[in-house]
């Protein structure tokens, strides 16, 4: 906290148990947010032993699908022509269009500027060569540790798809584990695209059929058990469309009810549901082609009520669904809301969602996840989160103090640790610090 000459900085509370005064709250909240190592409960980052799946460096940062979506709004290039460029040519075009020809004011472009700044690199260079040279000199493992330190995170949850042709075989060979990267068993291909992928399971020796009957459901459970033994995932996960319903007379409804939900119960791990995607509304821009839609969250109500022994780690994509999610979380203790997902990860919306969650859920939710697809993104996504959340939390504590609560630093430290660490550790059955799965 910089102080101008002769201006006294508002001191934070000295010791944990000192009673606080209003003037101390902001600084104390900022210090506790800075001083707490967060767990990033949902990313698309990969441990080094998963090789090229892990994206990092300047060309990956610049060709992030959020920026590709913004490129097509500012550049005359058509998607087809863009996909014919090399990765470097794509990055050069995006840099020129979104950073040199136009000030990078959007959330995603500002993020790249913050990453360059964090490494002391020029943020408005005519060429990306100096940045390319910098990243090419980095040794991955030490770079990961440095990036996690800059981001203030101790560990991340990955997104691992055993049916991904590039990833699956690596897991079958038994990759070297990294305590800072928690595996997550991602099931979109099985739950959302069974017709396209059932034959992959059949080819692996599981007696499944396109038309899922009870025998197929049992074989899918056997597949999930084999994945669990191999990967030790901290949770299973799936993104779901805005049209998702439960119960549903469908292949997805059947697999969810008779394979996935029972498997999560058997292994005592949560099922993460990420609801509200309108997939590929514009396929020509690929990953950037998904949109969001308001979902009927009665599906979640039915799942939480029907399976009280299961735990549902849930994020919803539509702004309009946020209040309902809070209401359902007040009804079901086996429901843990997390993050301001994807198109919601913008300061104005994060503020609105987080204030409402504190008002309705206290600190019984996980405020944010990064959804980072490129390693260095965690630096700006978590800096932004701390920057947005500090005044929100400080305001709640100011109101609490005004209402007569003898607030201490220890209270604030405990709440922040709870929201950004122990809520997830408890829900996922992890013991703290690079949590190994605690014995059931
Ligand atoms: O389904 C998901 O995990 C989404 O987060 C991604 O598919 C999405 O493309 C993304 O990167 C969001 O930030
Ligand atoms: Zn994601």
Transcribe 339-407 into DSSP letters.
Answer: ---GGG-SHHHHHHHHHHHHHHHTT-SB------SBTTHHHHHHHHHHHHHHHHHHHHHHHHHHTT---
Q: Alpha helices of 183-242 — where are they, by DSSP H?
A: 188-192, 194-203, 214-231
The pLDDT mean for the chain works out to 95
Q: Is residue 375 lining ligand 1, measured as CB closer than 6 Å?
A: no
Question: Do 16 and 28 meet the contact criterion of CB atoms below 8 Å apart?
Answer: no
In a 10 Å sphere around its CB, with 0-12 CB exposed, 13-18 middle and 19+ buried, how is residue 292 labelled? buried
Any residues with CB less than 8 A from the CB of 38 and at least 6 apart, and which?
152, 153, 154, 382, 420, 421
Please give the distance, rounded to the nearest whole angstrom, from the Cα atom of residue 11 to the centre of ligand 2. 39
* Tokens found for residue 9: 């900085």
Residues of the chain with pLDDT under 70: 1-14, 431-440
Q: Is residue 274 lining ligand 1, measured as CB closer than 6 Å?
A: yes
d(CA 253, CA 262): 13
What is residue 16's predicted lDDT score, i.e. its pLDDT? 75
Helices (H) and strands (E) in the chain, counts: 20, 9
Whether the model pTM is above 0.75: yes
What is residue 10's predicted lDDT score, i.e. its pLDDT? 54
Q: Which DSSP state fits 422?
A: I
What is residue 2's predicted lDDT score, i.e. its pLDDT? 43
Q: Is residue 64 lining ligand 1, measured as CB closer than 6 Å?
A: no
Please give the distance, rounded to the nearest whole angstrom, from the Cα atom of residue 280 to the centre of ligand 1. 12
Peptide bond into 382 cis (omega under 30): no
What is residue 432's predicted lDDT score, i.e. its pLDDT? 53
Please give the distance, rounded to the nearest whole angstrom, from the Cα atom of residue 311 to the centre of ligand 1. 22
Q: Is residue 100 lining ligand 1, measured as CB closer than 6 Å?
A: no
What is residue 11's predicted lDDT score, i.e. its pLDDT? 61
The residue whose two tokens read 């209040």 is 323
* Tokens found for residue 141: 């493992």
d(CA 97, CA 89): 12
What is residue 4's predicted lDDT score, i.e. its pLDDT? 43
């Amino acid at each position: 906290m910089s102080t101008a000459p002769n201006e006294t900085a508002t001191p934070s509370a000295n010791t944990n148990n000192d009673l606080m005064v209003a003037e101390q709250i902001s600084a104390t909240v900022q210090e506790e947010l800075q001083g707490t190592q967060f767990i990033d409960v949902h990313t698309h980052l990969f441990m080094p032993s998963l090789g090229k799946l892990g994206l990092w460096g300047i060309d990956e940062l610049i060709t992030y699908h959020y920026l590709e979506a913004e490129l097509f709004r500012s550049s005359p290039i058509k998607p087809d022509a863009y996909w014919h460029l090399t990765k470097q040519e794509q990055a050069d075009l995006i840099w020129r269009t979104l950073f040199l020809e136009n000030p990078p004011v959007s959330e995603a472009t500002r993020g790249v500027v913050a990453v360059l700044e964090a490494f002391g690199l020029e943020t408005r260079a005519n060429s990306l060569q100096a940045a390319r040279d910098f990243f090419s000199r980095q040794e991955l493992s030490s770079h990961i540790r440095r990036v996690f330190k800059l981001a203030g995170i101790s560990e991340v949850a990955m997104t691992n798809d055993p049916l991904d042709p590039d990833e699956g075989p690596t897991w079958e060979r038994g990759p070297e584990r990294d305590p800072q990267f928690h595996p997550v068993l991602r099931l979109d291909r099985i739950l959302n695209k069974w017709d396209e992928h059932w034959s992959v399971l059949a080819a692996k020796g599981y007696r499944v059929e396109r038309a899922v009957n009870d025998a197929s459901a049992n074989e899918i459970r056997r597949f999930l058990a084999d994945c669990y033994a191999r990967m030790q995932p901290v949770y299973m996960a799936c993104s779901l469309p805005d049209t998702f319903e439960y119960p549903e007379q469908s292949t997805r409804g059947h697999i969810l009810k008779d394979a996935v939900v029972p498997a999560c119960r058997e292994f005592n791990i949560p099922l993460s549901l990420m609801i509200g995607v309108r997939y590929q509304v514009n396929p020509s821009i690929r990953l950037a082609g998904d949109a969001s839609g308001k979902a009927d969250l009665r599906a979640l109500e039915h799942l939480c009520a029907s399976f009280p022994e299961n735990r549902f780690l849930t994020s919803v994509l539509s702004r309009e669904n946020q209040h309902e999610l809070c209401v359902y979380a007040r009804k079901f203790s086996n429901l843990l809301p997390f993050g301001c997902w994807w198109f919601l990860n913008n300061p104005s919306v994060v503020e609105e969602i987080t204030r409402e969650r504190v008002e309705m859920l206290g600190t019984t939710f996980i405020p944010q996840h990064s959804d980072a697809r490129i390693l260095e993104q965690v630096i700006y996504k978590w800096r932004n989160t701390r920057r947005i959340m500090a005044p929100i939390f400080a305001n709640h504590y100011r109101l609490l103090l005004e209402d007569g609560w003898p607030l201490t630093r220890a209270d604030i430290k405990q709440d922040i640790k709870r929201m950004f660490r122990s809520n997830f550790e408890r829900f996922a059955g992890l013991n703290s610090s690079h949590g190994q799965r605690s014995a059931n």
